Structure 1
């Protein structure tokens, strides 16, 4: 199943798609801004990266945990009303966080409020992806829609941190970037929740719940109990692990080569290549079978990042850049494959929760990868982050052993009477 350029146009022009697409773009844009804006804000006020890191980490942990809880609620209650409630809670929480930072409150209090702000941050990514099952038919057009989601998210990760750095430097108040991120989150989520397509989805969910036709998984893990979905989440975790490793490693390698600024340029180019390659890959995906695509893409990505680590001690940014661009070409195809994996392994009425499991896995993977990369670079020098790539190869091997759980998944996405 391959997506052509007309499929991308048809998906984005689908009836009812324009408003939620624009709203979700505004609301998802701050995804790469929150933690960095908080870190730099606290750093400017307190003068300590340690304190800033603690508050930023609390916000990130809260966001990761909140995505799954929110996804389950949105699938059971419909997106509109819970999202509007979340907007109100998030507004209070983020205002409280800014107040704590400005008042230089005790670290424990600020961390607790940061955790709450993370929990209340609207999990728009899963809802935006899940809505495409209402807007597009199964097949190349929907695959194009999922690729758009991955590409747009990658674009936000390029522009978001740059905007944070600009706002922190160019404005007189260091909290400006956090306020801008929070404002976009509030406006985008509110608009998304009130669009006609989202309200229709909410009405169908409420009607299905009233008739008892929803088939949600019970228990603490919910839909995550499905073996195929756990395999897709493992792929998302492995991707985040390798990507987080590389992000820190490239910065260290550029500093070792005597050109610290080149690290940021390489990471930006990496993301641009990812966006371009994502469109091309969507036209001719390989391997075609999804259960093979997941381990092969992660394995190739991890192998190239391992090679990046091995050449970093040579001090050649040109050689590092060449390998890095090849690795970047595998980023968006993986994120798209994770969306398709959810499509394959999770029931339609648990799509938001399932997508949010992927988001949480990726966030945890990135956090672990960044931490591991820092430790290994301190121990072994600029090439130490090759260990993170090698660990990614191990995850790819586990995916290969578990590939049957995805191949065997047989979850009808659009049965009669379903939400899709």
Structure 2
């Protein structure tokens, strides 16, 4: 006989109190608040670069290539910055980037206004991406230091993923406000100020001040985390499910265009982000009786199922509503991956391990967008969505074959 009330059963499924417990961890709240300000460019900078340069030069090719180079800079330099954080601590890296990044964005603006030199703009965009302060990586490496409880650590990574999803939702809206006001350059300057100020405050937080560097228990290797087969398997899976993210974005854009409402793509992607943020809040609101690798497997299986579920939908409005549910597992996949990396990576390589994950994520999304663009010329959006589901299942297969029976 069930004697528990429905409300009690719901709290056993999800409890926001777990997030309260995380925020009550000494020194975490101040670091997290500062990191949010410093991470505002995540949702703002790429779109701001694209719209500012297109409006200034009239060239989509120049604007698109500059935005792509900005992302390339982010991805290419991240592992090096992670290694420096592991060896020196975050202060030298973040202090330098907090000055360089706003300077590079300002240089990009000046070059676009004064010269319109394609090569100079390209170099500035690449340098801006390469100098973006890796504050997200610092937070993900900081959580295991501050949250020793494994169950709460899952909630911490879920909360962090929810923060990033929120920035992806709010960022384009902020850019749209600047563009609507006739001041698109303001979005870039706003991103620069947030990055600089947020990182200065983050560096002054007690948790970062007390950061200690872990001495390696073994000889250092140029390969870093790539020496460890299980981490390599997680990174490979990250590339594949990130390809699915990129394919989904193109599929939505192509689907909306095929229905004569291309602007609806932005609304659908925003709804998908809302669903993703809600999904990760649910995921982190409970301690699941599964190992980290099994949690990642389940999340990827649900993600693949969601993408396959919306593939045959032909009504634009129904597609948008179903995307909220179908995309709910996306942020949980990232949170589960972060939790797994935190368990698999050696302590003295934690930051670098997370940066490799970020590089794989950015590279996979870029590859998915590129492949989706080619596919959109030849096949219906439904096939692109099925391709995204297949890529996610391939990622799950890699994790299953290498980590399926692990207790991590």
Q: Measure, in 2, the Cα distance between the counterparts of 1:284 and 1:15.
A: 21
Instruction: Name the CA distance, whole Å, in 2 between partners of 1:325 and 1:126.
Output: 27
Cα distance in structure 2, aligned partners of 1:324 and 1:394: 21
RMSD: 2.3
The answer to whether the aligner puts 1:229 opposite 2:240 as a matched pair is: no
Partners of 2:199 and 2:360 lie apart in 1 by 22
Deviation of 1:330 after TM superposition, in Å, equals: 0.4
CA deviations 1:92-144 (Å, max 9, x no partner) are 32222222211234212221221111111111111011111222223222221
1-side partners of 2:98 and 2:337: how far apart? Answer: 27
Give the one of 242, 249, 252 matched to 1:250. Answer: 252
Deviations along 1:258-312, one digit per CA (max 9) or x if unpaired, are 333332222222211222222222244667122223233223313432443343x
Is 2:22 aligned against 1:11? yes
- Between the aligned partners of 2:27 and 2:95, the Cα distance in structure 1 is 20
Q: How does 1:218-297 map to 2 (within 5 A)?
A: 218-284=220-286, 288-297=290-299
Structure 1: tracts of 5 or more residues without a match:
410-420
Alpha-carbon deviations, 1:13-63, whole Å to 9, x = none?
211122211100101122121111111111011111111111111111001
236-245 or 190-199, which deviates more: 236-245
- Partners of 1:82 and 1:10 lie apart in 2 by 30
Residue of structure 1 in register with 2:77 after alignment: 66
CA contact (8 A) 1:373 1:388 kept: no
CA distance in 1, matches of 2:219, 2:51: 40
The 1:3/1:339 distance shift into structure 2, 3 A limit, reads farther
* Rounded Cα–Cα distance in structure 1 between residues aligned with 2:14 and 2:240: 25
The corresponding residue for 2:131 is 120
Q: Secondary structure at the match of 1:64?
A: helix
1:153 is matched with 164
Q: What secondary structure, in the 3-state scheme, does the structure 1 residue paired with 2:378 have? A: helix
Among 22, 32, 53, the alignment partner of 1:21 is 32
Alignment correspondent of 2:47: 36
- The number of equivalent residue pairs is 396
- Using a 3 Å threshold, how does the CA distance of structure 1 residues 108 and 215 change in structure 2: closer, same or farther? farther
TM-score (structure 2 length as normaliser):
0.90
Cα displacement string for residues 196-218 of structure 1 (whole angstroms, at most 9, x for unaligned residues): 210110xx22xx5xxxx334773
Maintained 8 Å contact 2:106/2:189: no
Q: Is the 8 A contact 2:158 2:284 kept in 1?
A: yes
Matching residue of 1:395: 395
**The 10-residue stretch of structure 1 (106-115 or 275-284) with the greater mean CA deviation from structure 2:** 275-284
- Does residue 350 of the first structure (1) align with residue 360 of the second (2)? no
Partners of 1:299 and 1:59 lie apart in 2 by 32
Aligned in 2, Cα 1:369/1:407: closer, same or farther, shift over 3 Å? same
TM-score, with normalisation over the residues of structure 1? 0.88
Q: 1:217 to 1:130 in 2, by over 3 A?
A: farther
Q: Does 1:197 align with 2:199?
A: no
Q: What SS class does the counterpart of residue 260 from structure 1 fall into?
A: coil
Q: How has the CA–CA distance of structure 1 residues 141 and 398 changed in structure 2, closer, same or farther, with 3 Å as cutoff?
A: closer
1:324 maps to 323
Q: Aligned in 2, Cα 1:287/1:296: closer, same or farther, shift over 3 Å?
A: farther
| Cα offset, 1:329, TM superposition | 1.4
TM-superposition CA deviations, 1:182-202 (whole Å, max 9, x none): 11111111111121210110x
State the distance in 2 between where 1:408 and 1:332 align: 22
Provide structure 2 residue ranges, at least 5 long, that are not aligned to the other structure.
1-11
TM-superposition CA deviations, 1:216-236 (whole Å, max 9, x none): 773333123211212222232
Structure 1, 297-306 or 349-358: larger mean CA deviation: 297-306
Cα 1:258–1:332 change in 2 (3 A) is same
CA contact (8 A) 2:101 2:195 kept: no
Match of 1:108 in 2: 119
Distance (whole Å) between structure 2 residues aligned to residue 285 and residue 195 of structure 1? 29
CA distance in 2 between partners of 1:216 and 1:100 (Å): 47
- Greater displacement, 11-20 / 278-287: 278-287
Deviation at 1:174, TM superposition (A): 2.5
Which residue in the other structure is 1:142 paired with? 153
Mapped partners of 1:81, 1:382: distance in 2: 46
